Copies of this chain bind each other. A is one copy, B any other.
Amino acid sequence: MTRAERELAEGALFTDQYQLSMAQLYFREGLHERRAKFDYTFRSYPDYGRHQAGYCVFAGLADLLDWMTTTRFTATDLDRLRSQRNSVDRPVFGDDFLGWLEAHGRFDTVDLAAVPEGRVVHPYAPIATAEGPLAIAQILETSLLNHLNYPTLVATKASRVAEAARGGAVLEFGMRRGPGTGANAGARAALVGGARFTSNVGTSHVVGVPPKGTHAHSMVQLFMAIGGGELEAFRAYARTYPDDCILLVDTIDTLDSGIPNAITVFRELAAAGHQPRGIRLDSGDLAHLAVRAARMLDDAGFTETTIVVSSSLDELAIWQILSQIEDEAPRYGVDPDVLTRRLTYGVGTRLITSQGHSFLDGVYKLVAVGADGGWVPAIKVSESREKVPIPGDKRVWRVADHRGSATADVVGSGDQAIAPGTALRLHHPYRESVSRVLAAEDVADVEELVVPALTAGEVLADRSLEAARAWRNLDLERLDPGVRRLVNPHTYHVSLTDEVKLLQDELVEAALRSAT
């Protein structure tokens, strides 16, 4: 796409056709400026097959807010819509509707409340609520879902990878296999979720984190092709980057060529007063090679150099590497804990594409329509009870026990309040007749989760990466270790109050009665 085409495809037309069809219908029926409330929720944690997430990390809000506050229907957009023909070759959109879009087609007229970016989130409880003129809030659906689903998926994966790495730095390397320009949103989401740095240069500069990366196999290949060899390539690298020398040692043979040549160059660097930084392993049995590399580097006196491992890593691969190191390192006289602290992880494809589970099933559902200054709840019935939205104007709280551990997310009605120190009767979000009482001592602290993010065109949310990272770290600390487990995690409880449960039941019954 050319730049002009990209602007067209990423602006107000970054939506599904049916949103515009419905918006025009609302306009024709005089409903387009009616206040409407839509909830963003997801239904299930990513399940990667052999391993499953027990929580998600919310990401994408900053980009969504940027989009909402800078996007409106342009003259070009309207010309394109005007050109659309229907099945009897007449215009799909009328000048009446397009005229209204020209005057009112901007997304900062929708108010957004949301969980702050970086926070831990769970299924069923609303993560964001959009409230605004029906036609605009409807058109917003696709962009909102697009801006939140994928980043939350990647931030969640990044958080798991970072947990597996036990404090070791995770570098996001996935741009080359990432989904087009979505790789930039993916890189930022990875940084929110637990990656310390990314190799993505542009995104690093946008978010204010230095990009990371050294050299590829091609550099060594090049020196070989022009009559030199790996050692000459490493020396050239050390000449150019004497204080940042990390060498990729597996272009020819890791143990017989790469590491010995790296050590030779490290000695030359050290003699010249520079501190060698480390090596990178990108193929083979990474755990075994890391142990052998540590032994060789230690023997040469380079005990402080980092060892970067990369190649098809994800949370299970890292877990396996660290387990193998615990087992194998002592046999080579290497302290496994010391080696583990020295590792850095380059994680690419499997992070940015969330390999194993490539989507978050987030949805955006109409839950209420404005009437007489209040809200009329809206419902959708489904054969699957878990797909029935939680209707009406609502509030969402996170409840914590006296130790500060999160015990449940609670969805209540908009006029409810939850008082700390009071027992709560709670209902399962979709299983009939499953309820429980949360004892008063488990309701030591109550915190509202969904808070104003965009109000009357003004952004109230903190859009910085630092804020999102701080939330992620804080929320993870307050999460039960069983919920954080990489495989078969405990189920975190999301529950409905009596009021919300009753409303949902009544509306479903009324809708089904209307069908007969």
Contact = CB atoms under 8 A, between A and B. Distances in A.
Interface string A13-48: 111111111101110110100101010000000000
A14 B206 CA distance: 12
Contacts of A257: 514-515
A455 interface: no
A19 B219 CA distance: 10
Contacts of A516: 256
Interface stretch (A353-361, A399-407, A427-435, A491-499): A353-361
Contact of A85 (B28, B147, B210): B210
A217 B8 contact: no
Contacts of A376: 225-226
Nearest to A274: B88
A179 interface: yes
Contact of A383 (B34, B38, B239, B283): B283
Interface size class of A (residues with CB under 8 A): 35 or more
Interface string A172-204: 010111111111111000000000000111111
Given A134-B222, A515-B257, A381 B252 contact: yes
B70 A2 contact: yes
B176 A215 contact: no
Contacts of A327: none
Interface stretch (A109-117, A335-343, A364-372, A408-416): A364-372
A13 B361 CA distance: 32
B25 A142 contact: no
A86 B250 CA distance: 25
A55 interface: no
Contact of A358 (B6, B355, B368): B355
A378 B225 contact: yes
B183 A146 contact: yes
Most buried by B among A11, A138, A215, A358: A358
A344 interface: no
Contact of A366 (B9, B28, B218): B218
B514 A219 contact: no
A201 to B, nearest CB: 4
17 contacts: A6-B184, A8-B205, A17-B201, A17-B213, A22-B218, A31-B226, A146-B175, A179-B186, A180-B182, A182-B185, A222-B366, A222-B378, A225-B368, A225-B378, A229-B514, A251-B380, A283-B382
Given A251-B380, A353-B353, 17 more contacts: A2-B70, A16-B199, A17-B213, A18-B199, A20-B201, A20-B213, A25-B237, A25-B241, A86-B241, A150-B178, A177-B361, A179-B185, A180-B181, A181-B181, A182-B183, A283-B382, A283-B384
